[in-house]
């Protein structure tokens, strides 16, 4: 922001340097016969200064091309009007100038210079505030003062910025990131119904974004008064199908299971949430508190035993995952590795998932029923499964071109140890 004001100040000084000296310079033979040419020069100087300022704002993105064209037309019209007025009043002006004394003319010039010195910066600032975007400049510079930050955080200011964003998206409807930002803004402004519509527009452009699906489900629940319905549940499960370790989707899945009084399933989701690599500590702590609360509730329900936080299904798979040496140079140590078990004769939604880093390989992981997404989709519910290891450079669970893959054949659940070698490249 400081650089912006310095540039604007320098431009104003240049404009004033073009305008003030001609006013203070004596006229021809000490008289005012040259004042009309000077008036034209003043008009041209003002035109050039304001045109340069508008060009600077266009280059910095504070004026759109349409706004710049409008400003340029207005400046040109002012210049034409000024030239016409100068020609029409030339004779009268010359007569008045010749009748004036040199001292009086000097005072007139000095007065005009002082007036321009006061008005030109003010006019430039008003033009910027009307046609420019000072809020965007503050955001881009990162140097907003505490007062500006408080003003930008006020409801009126947020409403104005959200309205401008909505207007821009009406003209540019293919901006998925813009729709997502608009939806989150509506949530902040407690307008969940509008957020739902904005999320729908964003998902129409990026339908396979698990984080966006989780945000959409959260907005649906908010718009429904905090209650989970079947449609919101579908969005949560769709997000988990794309990324079984999506933190917000896991948190929502746990809350939905709690609302349905399925305390065991709620604990399962929150256990998985606490184990997500890189999950914020406060989220992991909250998951731990929810697990403890669920266990306490289960103690109070007649006939329902408590489920320990470390409880796992007796039916489990031990999977040894390794990377083929021929592909070792085609991946990075921080790439994400998904180890996924799916039913051979059932839906494609994962039955169990572990998330690792490539640097962890080779490694042996355990897949069991505690990783199920729904009570119906557990490892123990299927006789044959297939295990897949997917190395993802993007961190997304769905394989993309260039990712690495390894698969086992169909396996019976009584096979306890499985070897999976990542030895393929997705084309």
Residue 104 shares a structural domain with residue 162:
no
Residue 202 shares a structural domain with residue 240:
yes
Rounded-to-integer distance, Cα 296 and Cα 65, Å: 63
Compute the C-alpha angle 353/358/364, nearest 5°.
55
Is 148 within a domain? no
Residue 186 shares a structural domain with residue 49:
no
Rounded-to-integer distance, Cα 278 and Cα 269, Å: 17
Rounded-to-integer distance, Cα 158 and Cα 237, Å: 33
Q: Are 266 and 290 in contact (CB under 8 A)?
A: yes
Is 144 within a domain? no
Is 306 within a domain? no
Pick the last residue of a domain from 108, 137, 166: 137
Q: Are 127 and 50 in contact (CB under 8 A)?
A: yes
What the block records as the tokens of 269 is: 């989701």
Residue 213 shares a structural domain with residue 262:
yes
State the burial class of residue 210 (Cβ atoms within 10 Å of its Cβ: 0-12, 13-18, 19+). buried
Choose among 106, 120, 155: nearest CA to 50.
120
> In sequence order, which residues have a C-beta less than 8 Å from that of residue 322 and are 6 or more positions away?
361, 362, 419, 420, 421, 422
pLDDT of residue 108: 59
Choose among 248, 228, 231, 230: nearest CA to 239.
248
Q: Are 265 and 257 in contact (CB under 8 A)?
A: yes
Residue 68 shares a structural domain with residue 112:
yes
Residue 120 shares a structural domain with residue 206:
no
3-state SS, residue 405: strand
Residue 283 shares a structural domain with residue 324:
no
Place of tokens 């949560």: 236
Element (H, E) at 68: helix 65-88
pLDDT of residue 296: 81
What the block records as the tokens of 10 is: 């320098």
Pick the last residue of a domain from 84, 103, 137: 137
Rounded-to-integer distance, Cα 28 and Cα 114, Å: 22
Q: How many domains does the chain have?
A: 3
> In sequence order, which residues have a C-beta less than 8 Å from that of residue 397 and are 6 or more positions away?
210, 242, 243, 244, 245, 338, 340, 353, 390
Rounded-to-integer distance, Cα 80 and Cα 52, Å: 18
Rounded-to-integer distance, Cα 164 and Cα 183, Å: 14
pLDDT of residue 362: 94
Rounded-to-integer distance, Cα 372 and Cα 377, Å: 6
Rounded-to-integer distance, Cα 319 and Cα 100, Å: 102
Q: Cα separations (Å) of 223 from 187, 273, 315?
A: 10, 25, 40
What totals of helices (H) and strands (E) does the chain contain, helices first?
15, 9
Compute the C-alpha angle 185/251/300, nearest 5°.
135
Rounded-to-integer distance, Cα 328 and Cα 282, Å: 36
Residue 327 shares a structural domain with residue 290:
no
- What CATH number does the domain containing 401 carry? 2.60.40.1120
> In angstroms, how far apart are the furthest CA atoms of the chain?
114
Pick the last residue of a domain from 103, 137, 171: 137
Is 150 within a domain? no
What the block records as the tokens of 47 is: 């035109």
Residue 17 shares a structural domain with residue 107:
yes
Is 147 within a domain? no
Residue 340 shares a structural domain with residue 377:
yes
Domain span at residue 416 reads: 316-425
Is 329 within a domain? yes
Residue 47 shares a structural domain with residue 175:
no
What the block records as the tokens of 388 is: 């897949």
Q: Cα separations (Å) of 45 from 37, 39, 110, 217?
A: 12, 10, 18, 59
pLDDT truncated to tens, each residue of the chain (427 aa)?
Answer: 455 556 556 665 666 566 556 655 554 444 444 445 545 555 555 566 567 666 766 776 766 777 777 777 776 776 666 555 545 554 544 444 444 445 555 555 555 655 555 555 555 555 554 555 444 444 344 444 344 344 444 455 678 888 888 999 999 999 999 999 999 989 988 899 999 999 999 999 998 899 999 999 999 999 999 999 988 988 898 888 788 889 999 999 999 988 888 888 888 888 888 888 778 888 888 888 888 888 887 777 665 554 444 444 446 889 999 999 999 899 999 898 999 999 998 887 888 888 888 999 999 988 887 777 666 778 888 889 999 999 998 877 788 899 999 999 898 877 778 999 999 999 8
Choose among 139, 9, 2: nearest CA to 62.
139
Is 142 within a domain? no
pLDDT of residue 162: 85
Rounded-to-integer distance, Cα 116 and Cα 113, Å: 5
Torsion of CA 165, 171, 176, 182, to 10 degrees: 20
Is 267 within a domain? yes
pLDDT of residue 164: 87
3-state SS, residue 96: helix
Half-sphere exposure of 252 (CA within 13 A, CB side): 31
Choose among 374, 343, 358, 362: nearest CA to 272.
374
Residue 193 shares a structural domain with residue 57:
no
3-state SS, residue 280: coil
pLDDT of residue 412: 85
3-state SS, residue 425: strand
Choose among 24, 28, 26: nearest CA to 111.
24
């Amino acid at each position: 922001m400081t650089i912006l004001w310095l540039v604007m100040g320098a431009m104003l000084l240049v404009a004033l340097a073009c305008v003030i000296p001609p006013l203070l310079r004596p006229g021809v033979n000490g008289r005012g016969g040259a004042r009309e040419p000077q008036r034209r020069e003043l008009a041209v100087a003002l035109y050039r200064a304001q045109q340069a300022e508008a060009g600077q704002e266009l280059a910095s993105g504070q004026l759109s091309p349409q706004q710049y064209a409008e400003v340029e037309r207005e400046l040109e019209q002012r210049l034409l009007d000024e030239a016409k007025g100068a020609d029409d009043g030339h004779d009268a002006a010359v007569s008045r100038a010749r009748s004036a004394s040199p001292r009086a003319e000097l005072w007139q010039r000095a007065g005009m210079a002082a007036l321009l010195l006061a008005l030109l910066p003010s006019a430039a600032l008003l033009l910027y505030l009307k046609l420019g975007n000072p809020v965007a400049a503050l955001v881009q510079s990162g140097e907003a003062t505490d007062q500006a930050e408080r003003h930008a955080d006020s409801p009126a200011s947020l409403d104005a910025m959200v309205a401008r964003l909505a207007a821009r998206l009406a003209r540019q409807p293919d901006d998925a990131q813009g729709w997502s930002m608009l939806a989150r803004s509506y949530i902040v402004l407690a307008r969940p119904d509008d957020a739902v519509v904005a999320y729908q527009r964003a998902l129409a452009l990026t339908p396979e974004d698990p984080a966006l699906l989780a945000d959409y489900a959260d907005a649906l629940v908010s718009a429904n008064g905090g209650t989970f319905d079947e449609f919101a549940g579908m969005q949560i499960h769709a997000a988990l199908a794309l990324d079984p370790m999506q933190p917000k989707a896991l948190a929502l899945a746990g809350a939905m299971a709690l609302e349905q009084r399925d305390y065991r399933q709620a604990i399962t989701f929150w256990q998985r949430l606490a184990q997500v690599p890189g999950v914020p500590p406060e989220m992991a702590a909250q998951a731990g508190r929810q697990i403890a609360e669920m266990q306490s509730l289960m103690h109070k329900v007649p006939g329902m035993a408590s489920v320990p936080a470390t409880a796992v299904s007796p039916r489990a798979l031990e999977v040894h995952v390794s990377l083929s040496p021929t592909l070792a140079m085609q991946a990075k140590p921080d790439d994400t590795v998904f180890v996924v078990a799916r039913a051979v004769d059932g839906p494609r939604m994962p039955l169990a998932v572990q998330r690792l880093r490539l640097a962890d390989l080779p490694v042996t992981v355990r897949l069991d029923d505690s990783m199920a997404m729904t009570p119906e989709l557990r490892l123990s519910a299927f006789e044959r499964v297939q295990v897949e290891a997917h190395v993802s450079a993007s961190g997304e669970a769905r394989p993309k071109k260039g990712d690495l893959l390894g698969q086992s054949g169909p396996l019976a659940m009584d096979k306890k140890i499985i070897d999976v070698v990542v030895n393929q490249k997705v084309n």
